[in-house]
Amino acid sequence: MLPVTVRAPAKINLVLEVGAGRPDGFHALSTVYHAVSLYDEVTATPHDDAVLAVRVLDADSLRERTDVPRDESNLAIRAADRLRSHLGRPELGADLLIHKGIPVAGGMAGGSADAAATLVACNEAWQGGLSRAELEPIAAELGSDVPFLLHGSTAVGTGRGEQIAPVLARGHFHWVLATFAEGMSTPEVYEEHDRLGGRSGTFGEATQHVLEALRDGDPEVLGGALVNDLADAALALRPELAGVLALGLEAGAVGGLVSGSGPTLAFLVRDEIAADDLAEILRGAEVADVVLTAAGPRPGAKVVR
């Protein structure tokens, strides 16, 4: 059995409409996910001693990441464990090595990307033989975002975000991402959203606007359609983000929003040159810990070695 390396992208929610709280503790969502060119890589080295272990290295510095759990709460371990249960092969084990390029707890679904990458890597390394369609329900059990990270590209998410349908999108989009070392807790942001009184407006309408803008393919039109219902909650919990958002919009972005549950801020720009220009301005202003550029859409979890 040989090691397998799988790369999975980060996501931005081009629109995130949060509906009513459900009895199971989740919220109904209408969202459009968009995969962008920031990646985590998971290398699964298989063995048959039933042991699952994980190491997480920063993709740039190759230093150990101490802000990601190494126990069974790590989403990569959980994904491998679910997969072997599903295959009825409890004797399977693997060393999972993650190279992390996606901000941790940044609202860009890094943990979910690792879960999706691990499902694909272990299915291959263990010769599980499951199809993408068969991996999807396992992905949904692991987290609401995980099925999208298998799928990639641009897709509508409904249910609690786990039901994915592809969308017709024209063109490529360039992004500037302002990221922060201190992450935010997804459940806390949803709680704050409820505390602030939830949403107003017709559920699904903002999603339709984004879908129209994607058919059009013009970044300026898409920039005007970006909506995140969790933004008020994220800004209430992290007020300093508001100034950074305003600065990016004043400095030439055609749109900008909080990515998912935050704190990453995603700015849409006209083209690659505009992305480099805005990134320079934000770096110079020293308003974020790291400023990155990325483009989308990109494919989902994919074997690279």
Ligand X SMILES: Nc1ncnc2c1ncn2[C@@H]1O[C@H](COP(=O)(O)OP(=O)(O)O)[C@@H](O)[C@H]1O
Catalytically annotated residues: 11, 145
> Is 107 a binder of ligand X (CB under 6 A)?
yes
- Integer angstrom CA distances of residue 210 from 169, 218, 263: 10, 11, 22
Single residue of 32, 38, 92, 109 touching ligand X by CB under 6 A: 109
> Is 68 a binder of ligand X (CB under 6 A)?
yes
Find which of ligand X, ligand SUD, none residue 125 binds, CB within 5 to 8 Å per kind. Answer: none
CA angle 30, 263, 183 (to 5 degrees): 115
Single residue of 43, 74, 123, 293 touching ligand X by CB under 6 A: 74
Residue with tokens 């994919």: 302
The SS3 call for residue 94 is: strand
261 labelled binding-site residue: no
The answer to whether 115 and 131 have CB atoms below 8 angstroms apart is no
> Is 228 a binder of ligand SUD (CB under 6 A)?
no
Contact track, ligand X, 14-43, x by CB under 6 A: ------------------------------
CA angle 252, 179, 163 (to 5 degrees): 95
> Is 263 a binder of ligand X (CB under 6 A)?
no
The answer to whether 159 and 29 have CB atoms below 8 angstroms apart is yes
Give the pair of three-digit tokens for residue 243.
């100034």
Give the pair of three-digit tokens for residue 188.
């806390």
CA separation for the pair 208, 248 (Å, rounded): 25
The answer to whether 17 and 209 have CB atoms below 8 angstroms apart is no
Stretch that binds ligand X, among 66-74, 162-170, 245-253, 289-297 (CB under 6 A): 66-74
> Is 75 a binder of ligand X (CB under 6 A)?
yes
Smallest distance from ligand X to CB 78, Å: 8
Provide the binding-site residues for ligand SUD, judged by CB under 6 A: 13, 16, 25-27, 29, 31, 107, 109, 112, 143-145, 160-161, 186-187, 190, 260-261
Q: Which residue ranges make up the annotated binding site?
A: 103-113
